[in-house]
Structures are given as C-alpha cells and as structure tokens.
Amino acid sequence: MTATPADGDDQPRRLPLVVVLLLPIALVNALGFVVPTLNLLRMSFFEAQGTGAMQEVFTLATWQKVFTDSFYAELILNSISTSFLITVLTLLCSYPIALYLHRSSGLWRSVLLVLVIAPLLTSAVVRTYGWIVILFENGLINNALAAVGIGRVRMIFNKTGVTIGLTEILMPYMILALMAGFGKLDARIEEAAASLGASPMRVFRHIVLPLTLPGIALGSLLCFVLAVSSFITPKLLGGGRVFLLATEIYDQAIVTLNWPVASSLSILILLIFGTALLLYTRALNAAT
C-alpha cells in the first residue's frame, strides 16, 4: 500500500503527542540558542563601567564607541580585508583540487574525497598546531630555508601566518562547495568547444569558468563567512598580536569582561554575515 497524502484529520488527536516529543529539543533550542542570542542583542545596548560592573540601562554608548573608535574601525576593516584575501587564496588553491576530483572516478576518487573530508573531522586546534610546526622559526619551512642558505622568514604570530593557516584550514569547505556547483560541467561540453577550435586555455576561460561560477560563488560565501568568524586559528597563529573580530570578542568577554562591547562586536559579525549573504543572493539572481 503506497502511503496516501497526509491524513489531515488526525491532527487534533495527535497534537499532544507531537508537543511532548518536540518539547525537549524546543527547550534546548530556546534556552541555549534563542534566548542567549536575543540577550546578546540586548547586552549590546548596555554599557560597561570602568570597574567591570555593568549598568543595565539602555544606551547607545557602546555602539557609538564601536563605530567611532579608530581601533574598532581598523579591527573591522582588518577582519573584512583579511577574510577577503583568504577567500581568494582559498579559491585559487581549491579550484584545481575540485576540478581534478570532479574529473576523476572510481576508487581513486573515493580515496581522494576521504582525504579532503578527513581534515574536517579533526579539531581546529590540531590543524592549527600543525601549521605552527610548519611555520615557526624552528619549523619545517624555516629550517629548510636555513639549510639551503636563505635566511629565516617570520611567518608566525603575524598576519602572514594567520592567512596561510586559515587558507588551508578552509580549503575542504571550498572544495566541497565547488564540487557541488560543478554539476553542470560535462566533459562533452568541453569536447564540443575543443572540436570548434578552442585551445585548453580558452576552453577553461570561456566554458569551464563560467559554468562553475555558481560553485565559486557558494564556496566564496562559505569561506568568507567562516574566515570572518574564525577564532582558534587567528588566536594561536596570531599569538595575540593579530587583532581580528573573533579574537577581540574573546578578549573583551574573558579578559576585559566588557560584555557589552563583546556583544556589539558579535552582532557586527552577524551583520557582516547578513550582508555577505545578501550580496551572494543578489549575484545569484543577477546571473539567472
């Protein structure tokens, strides 16, 4: 017997049961997600006093500070520009892998796919630590450079290190997003172009690239958003000397105990998210 369309008239009978079954998760969601997030918004309208105490009075002082203080302006700009750079680099590094995976098949493809996904299952701390080992003074690269005679380069506890590390860490996300968007890419289309006289470079520029734009857009959005809100890697690879939104939020919350500022910076991250999503949707609509 195939299932018939929803037996609507059962609803009044079953509703109590549905409520009981959904209650636990609704509670967790409400108390652990909705309430805290709304409270965050509320908190951004308070102001912390110098003593560390907090006045629960509605004020725009904190928001004013965030928007006018040059430190915060620089912080926000820094975060956005660094994330943007990271996104571009991640795209450039991930595209070849994604294309290669898309064109391969069988067991080899499955193995490679597992290798791409595997890093996602390990902790960010582990992966960041790996980068410290590679980048720091006595690490892989510098020791290699020293052995060859080139001097040591400072790649850690600065923006360079954070950029390199975060780029690699975000690659799996970009690769998967690209591959998802590669759906329309069919070998036959490329062959048709080649048969019409297009060189491989041209085929890439005029056929492959345009067709994979949706994947590129999606991956870029994902990467940008993850980069802007990334904490572990900037904190560890930056060594406390790189100031980005996420690290500042943590410092304000745990060290300075200025929760209103931390809250407003968090809301700011969410606003950046929203803007990025808006631009993405606009771009997508414009393309179709």
Partner 1 sequence: MDERPISLPLKLLALTMFVFLLAPLLVVLPISFSGDNYMIFPPTSWSTRWYGAIFTDAKMTSAFSSSLALASVVTLLSLAIGLPAAYALVRLKPPGAAALSSFFTAPLLLPTIVLGLAILIVFSVYGLLGTFQGLIAAHLVVTLPYAIRVLSTALSTLPITFEEAAASLGASPMTVFRRVTLPMMRSGIIGTTALCFLVSFDEVVLSLFLTGPRLTTLPVAMFHRVEQQADPMVASLSVLLVALTLAVVLIVDRTSGLARTFVK
Partner 2 sequence: MSNQESGAGGKSGDAFLSLRGLTKRYGDFLAVDHMNLEVPKGELVAFLGPSGCGKTTSLRMIAGLTPQSEGRIIVGGDDLTGVPTYKRDMGLVFQSYALFPHMSVERNIGFGLEMRGIARDEFANRVRDAVALVHLTGMEKRRPAQLSGGQQQRVALARALVIRPAILLLDEPLSNLDAKLRDEMRNEIRDIQKRLGITAVFVTHDQSEALTMCDKVVVMNHGRLEQVGAPTELYEQPRTAFVAGFVGRMSRIRAMARNGSTAFAGQRLPVPAGLDGPIDIMIRPHRIAIGPVVSEETRHQVTGTIVRTVFVGDILQYDVDVAGQIVSVELSTRGNESLLKPGAPVSLSWGPRDVYVFGAAP
Instruction: Considering only residues 95 through 134, tell me which ones interact with partner 1, judged by CB under 8 A.
Output: 96-97, 99-101, 103-105, 112, 115-116, 118-119, 121-134
> Packing angle between helix 70-103 and helix 259-287, nearest 10 degrees?
40
What is the spatial distance between Cα 214 and Cα 180, in angstroms, rounded to a whole number?
9
Number of residues located near partner 2, criterion CB under 8 A: 8
- 8 vs 24, beta carbon nearer partner 2: 8
Residues 7-66 that bind partner 2 (CB under 8 A): 7-10
Q: Which helix (H) or strand (E) holds 260?
A: helix 259-287
Under rule CB under 8 A, residue 1 binds partner 2: yes
Query: In this structure, are residues 245 and 265 in contact, taking their beta carbons and an 8 Å threshold?
Result: yes
User: What residue spans of 229-258 are helical by DSSP H?
Assistant: 232-238, 245-250
249 binds, among partner 1, partner 2, none (CB under 5 to 8 A by kind): partner 1
79 binds, among partner 1, partner 2, none (CB under 5 to 8 A by kind): none
Would strands 54-55 and 47-48 be described as parallel, antiparallel, or unpaired?
antiparallel
Convert residues 180-209 into a mask of x (bound to partner 1 by CB under 8 A) and - (unbound): -------xx-----------x---------
* Binding residue (CB under 8 A) for partner 2 from 2, 51, 105, 138: 2
Residues 46-85 that bind partner 1 (CB under 8 A): none
Name the one range near partner 1 by CB under 8 A: 18-26, 75-83, 176-184, 210-218.
18-26
Within 8 A by CB and 6+ apart from 189, the residues are: 207, 211
User: 55 - beta bridge partners?
Assistant: 47
Within 8 A by CB and 6+ apart from 172, the residues are: 116, 117, 119, 120
Q: Is the dihedral of CA 5, 10, 12, 13 positive or negative?
A: negative
Shortest Cβ 17–partner 2 spacing (Å): 13
Residues 118-157 that bind partner 2 (CB under 8 A): none
What is the spatial distance between Cα 194 and Cα 167, in angstroms, rounded to a whole number?
34
- 192 vs 287, beta carbon nearer partner 1: 192
* Binding residue (CB under 8 A) for partner 1 from 66, 86, 171, 242: 171
User: Where do contacts with partner 2 occur on this chain (CB under 8 A)?
Assistant: 1-2, 4-5, 7-10
